[in-house]
Structure 1
Amino acid sequence: MRTGGTAPESSPEIRTYRIPTTATGEDAPTFVLLHGIGLSHRFYGRLGRALSRTGPVVSFDLPGFGPTRHPGRRLSVEDHAALVAAQLTRLSTGPVVVIGHSMGAQFATELARTYPHLVSHVILIGPVVDAAHRTLRAQAWALLRDAPLEPPRTQTAALFDYVRCGIPWFLTEAFAMRDYPTHERIVDVSQPLLVLRGEHDPIAKAAWCHHLAQLTSAGTVETPPRTRHNAPHARPEAVAEAVRRFVQEHV
């Protein structure tokens, strides 16, 4: 359900969507889903519905992705995080459980470190960019190795979003993704951190994910079985259960 919010006319467009919760009680956590490069909120609808049984869910179409307008200039990870922070402030969500997948993990990291009052827990799924393979060529090769082995339904959903995004904007933001030093910025994240890695993810490799978790004071890694890079779409129930368990253990 879309509930508002594009940024002011002079700002890059961001669209906000909310899924109300079926949970009872006033202490239900709010989950925020941040999509990766080329994708949109649609790609995380299945995960959002699974999480909505525990708490309300907020997701976004960030500038140039999904149906939003291309902003006409490159946006940095910091720019995206600032836009999300402004929307969360407008929505008065209180501290949220932020969940970022792929490049969205960079947005989540930047949101948590720069606007810590807005974030209670940080979940990074398939985080990028591995400092040992920090080139666009390496990232493209890993993506090509992953895509054909994802479930057909996941391949179709990703392809739809990639086509709508378009190659020029995808490549523009790929440079922003490459240039963001996730391993340097994550040391400033003070909230409880969970790194989720698909068992067979060739993009976010095991050593990289464990390294990120070890760079924080409260980081842990979990590996849902029979999953690849796009675990939030391919196995949403397994991801949602891992997220719920982590949040409950770190109240």
Structure 2
Amino acid sequence: MKRILNILLIPFSIFVLTACEIFHLDNYDGPNASFYGGIKDAETGELVETDIQNGSAIRAYELGWPTEAALTWVIKQNGEFRNDMAFAAHYKIEFINCNFFPFTIEDLEIKSGDNQHDFQATPYIRINNINIRKEGNSIVATFNLQAGKPEVKLSAIRLYAFTDIYVGEQVKFETQGTNSRQTFSPAKEIDNTTYTLRIELDENTNLFKYNRNYYFRVGALASVSNVGTVRYNYAPLVVIPL
């Protein structure tokens, strides 16, 4: 009987020791900082808008660890960001695969509490003089483009539509007709051309069948070498009730 009890106690003891070690390893302080701000155009001061899904992001590495793992902090569609679950520490910040020229900050300190910080960036393309309106039975967008640097060329432009604020390349109606988009192959020089895009409502009655607010946004895709994945640049969205 004593031998049986000893055998039964061995796995129980291992379980207790393991559980204690787990609780001990998990006994760390939680996040103690908020980090928020915006990605701003270094020339105009305007927010650099993006896609909430598969758009630009902040890649952060907490310094001081033997292995520095990348943390991905999402940038909202309007170009702002907010992380209320950060740890006070020093970080290396990288911006790669975005819709602006890549850059790195080698050491940025996030202190305990609130931390507001705006990053200055150069977007690949600026969408200027944007005007999106309803004309008859069409949604019409007119605009000009400006290259962030001389080497930037233009691959595509599109007028997007959807039922909420996340409208863009990743969240959109697949509208019928060819007037809502243009693709350039090879990529073309960016000049002072005034572009016009339109969505014909009578060709897309299945998408715009309810009386409600719809969200429209113009996006432009750059062609530029040696910068990683290029994301769309955007103008601010416009809400039009139909």
TM range (shorter): under 0.3
Q: Between Structure 1 and Structure 2, which shows a larger proportion of strand residues?
A: 2
Q: Between Structure 1 and Structure 2, which shows a larger proportion of helix residues?
A: 1
The structure with more radius of gyration = 2
TM-score, normalised via structure 1 length:
0.23
